[in-house]
Amino acid sequence: MSTRLLVLGLLNESPRHGYDILKWLEQTHADAWTNVRPGSIYHALQQLQKEGLVQVSETTQAGHRLKAVYAITAAGRAEFKQLLRQALHHLPQAFPAEFYLALIFLEELPRQQVRTLIEQLMPQHEQALASWEYGQAAKNAYHPLPEHLRAIFINGREHLEADLRLLSRLRDLLSEKERAREMDDPS
């Protein structure tokens, strides 16, 4: 659903090449938070065209290749609005369910191994946070963000910061338990 929503939404703004959609995805780093993978764009365009939701409005020459410019149809606009309603009907997911589930069974792995795994996650989260902040700054530089988009960036940053705090707490807790175990067993 995410890829369809993204493609139809961008085409609702204006006709575009598939490449333009890929560039938008790359420039906004939206693949990190939309669950839309760059490799799914052209497949989605073909599928949407088969369903009559988009159409080729023109072709342009790019070197030896013809590039199709896609435009949304009236049926595509109706589908886009339906997808918007569906997406807004679902509660945002604030809990990393799989990670939380693994924490329930944390005692099944050696503490050192768990601590190492958690420490490996921290730079990834720090990079995600830096990328998130870069994306916000880049969008603001292009044009001021409307309030609802600023709210998205604030919420995303707060989630990333909370996840980093959780990882830090877990790392510290595991380190304390390791030190306590070493003090109890000095051999």
Write out the H or E segment, with its range, that includes residue 16.
strand 16-17
* DSSP string computed for 27-76: HHTTHHHH---GGGHHHHHHHHHHTTSEEEEEEEEETTEEEEEEEE-HHH
Within 51-146, where are the H helices? 74-89, 97-104, 111-142
pLDDT at residue 98 is higher than 90: no
Q: Is this model's pTM higher than 0.85 or not?
A: no
Number of Cβ within a 10 Å radius of residue 25: 22
Answer yes or no: is pLDDT of 66 > 70.
Answer: yes
pLDDT over threshold 80, residue 185: no
- Which numeric CATH code is attached to 2-89? 1.10.10.10
Rounded Cα distance between 45 and 132, Å, is 27
pLDDT score for 187: 58
Which sequence spans correspond to the domains of the chain? 2-89, 97-184
Going by pLDDT thresholds of 50, 70 and 90, the confidence category of residue 141 is confident
N-terminal to C-terminal alpha carbon distance within the chain: 57
| 20 pLDDT above the threshold of 70 | yes
